[in-house]
Structure 1
Amino acid sequence: MGSLPEGRHFFHGDDGYESARQATVWNQRVPDRYPDVIVQAVDTDDVVAALRYAKANNKQVSIKSGGHSWAASHLRDGAVLLDMSRVDQTSIDTDAMTAVAGPGKGGSALAAELDAVGLFFPAGHCKGVCIGGYLLQGGYGWNSRVVGPACESVVGLDVVTADGDTIYIDADHHPDLYWAARGAGPGFFAVVTAFHLKLYPKPAVLGSSFYAYPIELADEIFTWARGISADVDRRVELQIVATRSVPNAGIDRPAIVMASPAFADTEAEAKKAFTLLDQCPVVDKALIAVPYAPMALADWYTAVMSNYLEDHRYTADNMWTNASAAELMPGIHRILDTLPPHPAHFLWLNWGPSPQRQDMAYSLESEIYLALYAGWMDPQDDEKYSDWPRSNMASMASLATGIQLADENLGRRPAKFVTDENMARLDRVRAQYDPDGRFHSWMGRL
């Protein structure tokens, strides 16, 4: 019953199925979950066909764009898996400062195309992350402390509903579904075939600040970082990364790195925005101190990806928190004492306090964001390293306000990612647009 695109679908057991399944996951740790059929869509007609097939055969549907989900939430036993990575069309209107892009469009590729015409969009920090999942879950990207999470710049979407109907949604057309699309993440209950994006002028200057400290200074650094949360210039993305080594900086010892971009109109403004970082109380003990240097966005992508190596196996977990440094430090010391080898790392991000957000499903963020990433190569080390992110975040859960979906581990550790009010509204909108539960909900939630 129902027909699927010829030559671009693989049933479980078919030749090519396993390679197609593994190709949907970016890192090398592919869960033992097996969709009934994988459909490699190239256009809206393929999506409609897959949804009609799912309905005719009473199958649930899961969706993949770039495959960077750490938990591989798109891999569900018995599902119809829609691989949208080939739906990557892009059109840019430089006069209107808008773009229309498919969910399979790489964020870094979009950023480069916009850069070439003097425009900007807050794309994700990692190469290979496609905009589909990134925008649906919120979108913490370049300069997002200024322009907001990227979902705030989604002005409309082309979607296919559970019944296979093709519709356009925005603030005036199906506003409830539009509200849900901006923050529902992997639990969204429609298939996005195109995002309509608001663009921005390209910032004239992208500056960089880089400090590396001995990890023994953790108490001083994180206590100071927590104390300046409200004072960090919003043009500065203060990222603090603790790791066992920093190969790209020639540091072969445990270290805490502050690597911060700042987008500004002039170099003088960028330097001024970084001034606070030179006031760290242990700055005189830095292993490396570069208060300011110009840096292209392409170089930032290269630097970020030194922590996310394609030949490694990964797990991740995270938390939002407003807790004090005194409350956080015992958990942070446990994290630092048990750090696996590079590229595993602990990320601290000074994010807020944030301005009032738009009315959308995305609704949970706090002053500080903490995330853990375990990375290793040998499958025999799965037991040794894979639970490091979850167990440490679980031990600090009493200090968390919730999590963000980008680095979620909901299958292993269910956690709050929107407000209770917004979750209730998501359930109501889902009941309207997907009453039969055609689309898989979030992992860890039936």
Structure 2
Amino acid sequence: MASPQQPQVYQTKPEYSSSVLVRGTPDYERCRRMNPSSATPDRYPQEIHVPRTPQDIAAALRKAASLGVHVGIRSSGHVFGLGALVQDGIMIDTVNLNRGVEYDPATQEITFGPSVRVEEVAGKLKEIKRFFPHGHAPTVGAGGFLLAGGQGWFVRGWGATAQSWITKMEIVVPDGRVLMASRTVNQDLFWAARGSGLGFFGVVTRFWGRTIPASRLWERSFTFVVGDRYEQLMTWALTKGDETPKYGTDLNMTIYYPDKYDPLCTGDAVPEDKTLHMSLSLQCYADTQAQARVLLSAYDGEMPPAVRDALIEMKPVTETSFQRIFRTKRGFIGLGGDQRWSILSILSDPGTPLPRLLEKCKPALTELPTRTSVVFICTCDIVPDEQDSAVSIPQQYYISTITQWTDPGLEPGIYQPMRDRYKATLPVAAGTYVADYDVTNDDANGRVMSDSALARFLEIRQKWDPKGLFPNYKRFIETHEKIRRMESKARL
């Protein structure tokens, strides 16, 4: 068995010697640790199943039921809490399940399996000259991305991908049946799957999504020194984002130590001067450069003096591509090896005044624990419709801090400081993006659904999974009770 300390490169298409891997064998341990972070916890399923068909999944579910154990599902994204690793249960790794992207010209829909990666979907779309709002990180699996709702490209105007673009799913339910779910068939399953993330109580084996004709991707960017101008920079950047048209624009911000990208710098220690940079990456989807300039024109004009003085670089609107952006992000997060990762986030409450939001978030966004940690902020502007799907938390800004380190000796202490900082942001949060929900610690988790959506979800779950084969939903209940206690205390 491989040593837990031995680095393992993360592979998106690993091969194993068997479809059922038993604890104590080399391939079992290799598969258990085939995660985008090498900080794999000491949780050990009895067996790991690597199915190729829905029938293989049905067999795995029957095996779990006969053993009286829980089931975890892995499509391999960036869920660093690794809720799929169920101790003494059965983990189903969908890496070989419907691993391909197909397009039907008659329906103009694409179909793909749960472990198909974002870059694979994008590659097919480029080939057929169509668009579908896949994710931003190239190695994320479709299952985790879509069950979380999907903060895909141009989410501001076109909505969460699962809510607005997915038309149907094939799902293996706990009793082993293989069912279709859509807005007209098994509507309750379809509702629950879209937005419940790791709490879902079935195994999605295939997705269908509508597409539209492709356009062209454009980008402009700004880079600033943060220094003592955090409030001024954030206010300007977010306010200009709010002034930008919602349809066809994608607005992202990062805060980082510039040493993160210096190949001569090594180790986890933060730079002595603790200088932070902030970059704005502004993309839009338009047929011409002239149209792109109009879409991103809110950032033109005179900057406030504090913002102008902090400016390092400004690049004009130029054409780019999803593939080019993927190349940039490939080294950004989740490649295994000696890289270890953790992520915490909030979805900001749209009713919170911006000065209060910035005040509460400042420690989480400016006190990065390692040289290679980074803040990522996306303007989402999602107005949820919980009658349509379990996506029910309003998402004005997605605000996250991604902690990266290489020294295992920093664990477990490296986790808690950022948990404490994000716990302090909960009063200005509408909730937590379910893909970032931490099953190992509830300190910083917020609601993943509205209270009414969770109540509906639990009723549907009881109908389909009365024996509780899929256990992660229980953590959602604990978190909602915690938030209610916090809100009651705040009102006293």
For this structure pair, what is the TM-score category when the shorter chain's length is used for normalisation? Answer: over 0.9
How far apart are the structure 2 equivalents of 1:165 and 1:225?
A: 50
Cα distance in 1 for partners of 2:101, 2:378 equals 31
Q: Does residue 212 of structure 1 match 2:212?
A: no
For residue 291 of structure 1, what is the amino acid of its counterpart?
Answer: P
Structure 2 equivalent of residue 434 of structure 1:
465
SS in 1 for 2:376: strand
Question: Once the 2 structures are TM-superposed, how far is the Cα of residue 330 of structure 1 from its aligned partner?
Answer: 2.9
Residue 318 of structure 1 aligns to which amino acid in structure 2?
S
Distance 1:142 1:56 in 2: 42
**Taking structure 1 as reference, are residues 387 and 303 closer, same or farther at Cα in structure 2, changes over 3 Å only?**
farther
In the alignment of these two chains, the number of paired residues is: 440
* Cα displacement (A) at 1:356: 5.7
The answer to whether the aligner puts 1:178 opposite 2:190 as a matched pair is yes
Q: Which moved more, 1:106-115 or 1:242-251?
A: 242-251
Distance 1:196 1:275 in 2: 35
Structure 1, gaps ≥5 residues long: none
Name the structure 2 match of 1:417: 448
Match of 2:173 in 1: 161
| Residue 82 in structure 1 maps to residue 104 in structure 2 | no
Is the 1:189–1:433 Cα contact (8 Å) retained in structure 2?
yes
- The match for 1:255 among 249, 260, 277 is 277
Q: Distance in 2 between matches of 1:384 and 1:35?
A: 25
2:340 pairs with one of 302, 305, 313: 313
Aligned partners of 1:285, 1:158: CA distance in 2, in Å? 51
Q: Distance in 1 between matches of 2:256 and 2:113?
A: 35
**3-state DSSP of counterpart to 1:167:** strand
Return the letter of the residue paired with 1:338: E
Question: What SS does structure 1 have at the residue aligned with 2:395?
Answer: coil
- The residue identity in structure 1 corresponding to 2:213 is P
Give the match for residue 140 of structure 1: 151
Q: Does 1:116 align with 2:127?
A: yes
Question: What does residue 382 of structure 1 align with?
Answer: 411
The match for 2:329 among 301, 304, 314 is 304
Alignment of 1:88-99 (within 5 A): 88-99=99-110
Paired residue secondary structure (1:186): helix
How far 1:146 sits from its partner (Å)? 2.8
TM-score scaled by length of structure 2: 0.84
Deviations, residues 103-155 of structure 1 (Å, cap 9, x unaligned): 11111111111111111111111111110111111111112223221102111
Q: Which residue of the other structure, out of 291, 305, 309, is the alignment partner of 2:316?
A: 291
Query: Take 1:247 and 1:142, find their aligned partners in 2: how far apart are those partners?
Result: 25
Decide which moves more: 434-443 or 63-72. 434-443
Q: Tell me: CA distance 1:120–1:342, structure 2 relative to 1, closer, same or farther (3 Å).
A: farther
Q: Take 1:249 and 1:378, find their aligned partners in 2: how far apart are those partners?
A: 19
TM-score by length of 1: 0.92
Secondary structure of 1:221 counterpart: helix
**1:19 aligns to 2:48 (yes or no):** no
Question: Partner amino acid for 1:352?
Answer: D
Letter in 2 for 1:165: R
Counterpart CA distance in 2 for 1:365 and 1:192 is: 25
Pair 372,8 (structure 1): closer, same or farther in 2 beyond 3 Å = same
Matches within 5 A, 1:334-353: 334-352=363-381
Question: What CA distance in whole angstroms lies between the structure 1 residues aligned with 2:398 and 2:365?
Answer: 16
- State the distance in 1 between where 2:386 and 2:462 align: 25
Cα deviation digits, residues 298-336 of structure 1 (max 9, x gap): 111122334315231011111111322321233343234
What is the CA deviation profile of residues 253-278 of structure 1, one whole-angstrom value per residue up to 9, with x for unaligned ones?
Answer: 52011112211122111111111123
CA distance in 2, matches of 1:20, 1:61: 16
Partner of 1:172: helix, strand, or coil? coil
Q: CA RMSD in A?
A: 2.3
Report if the CA contact (8 A) 2:360-2:428 is conserved.
no
Q: Distance in 2 between matches of 1:37 and 1:400?
A: 38
Distance in 2 of aligned mates of 1:366 and 1:292: 27
Question: Within 1, Cα distance between the matches of 2:160 and 2:236?
Answer: 26
Task: Output the CA distance in 1 between the equivalents of 2:40 and 2:382.
Answer: 37
Q: 1:374, 1:388 within 8 Å by CA — same for their partners in 2?
A: no
Q: Deviations over 1:323-366 (max 9, x none)?
A: 22321233343234421334311122222264767611111123
Aligned with 1:269 (options 275, 287, 291): 291
1:52 and 2:77 aligned? no
Give the Cα separation in 1 of the matches to 2:344 and 2:176.
Answer: 34
Aligned mates of 1:178, 1:154 — CA distance in 2: 10
Cα 1:336/1:99, change in 2 over 3 Å: closer
Listed one character per residue, the Cα deviations across residues 165-221 of structure 1 (whole Å, up to 9, x for unaligned) are 111111111111111111111111111111111112112x21111111001221111
From 391, 394, 409, the equivalent of 1:362 is: 391
The aligned residue for residue 360 of structure 2 is 331
CA distance in 1, matches of 2:468, 2:179: 19
Q: Is residue 49–residue 91 contact of structure 2 (8 Å, CA) maintained in 1?
A: yes
Secondary structure at the aligned position of 1:238 is classed as strand
Higher mean C-alpha deviation, range 285-294 or range 429-438: 285-294
* Identical-residue share of aligned pairs (%): 24
Q: Which stretch shows the higher mean deviation, 62-71 or 372-381?
A: 62-71
SS at match of 1:426: helix
Q: Which residue of 1 aligns with 2:400?
A: 371
Of residues 138-147 and 171-180 in structure 1, the stretch that sits farther from structure 2 once superposed is 138-147
Asked if 1:202 corresponds to 2:193, the answer is no
Task: Specify the SS of the correspondent of 1:424.
Answer: helix
Corresponding residue for 1:193? 205
- The yes-or-no answer on 1:444 pairing with 2:475 is yes
For 1:208 and 1:132, how far apart are their aligned partners in 2?
A: 28
Contact 1:51/1:164 (<8 A) preserved: yes
Tell me: CA distance 1:78–1:385, structure 2 relative to 1, closer, same or farther (3 Å).
same
Letter in 2 for 1:387: Q
- Deviation string 1:65-98 (CA, Å, 9 cap, x unpaired) is 1242121111111111000011113321134210
For 2:384 and 2:176, the matched residues in 1 are separated by 38
CA pair 236-409 structure 1, distance change in 2 beyond 3 A: same
More deviation, 72-81/410-419: 410-419
154-163 or 412-421, which deviates more: 412-421
Write the letter of the residue equivalent to 1:305.
Answer: R
For the 8 Å contact 1:106–1:128, the answer to whether it is kept is: yes
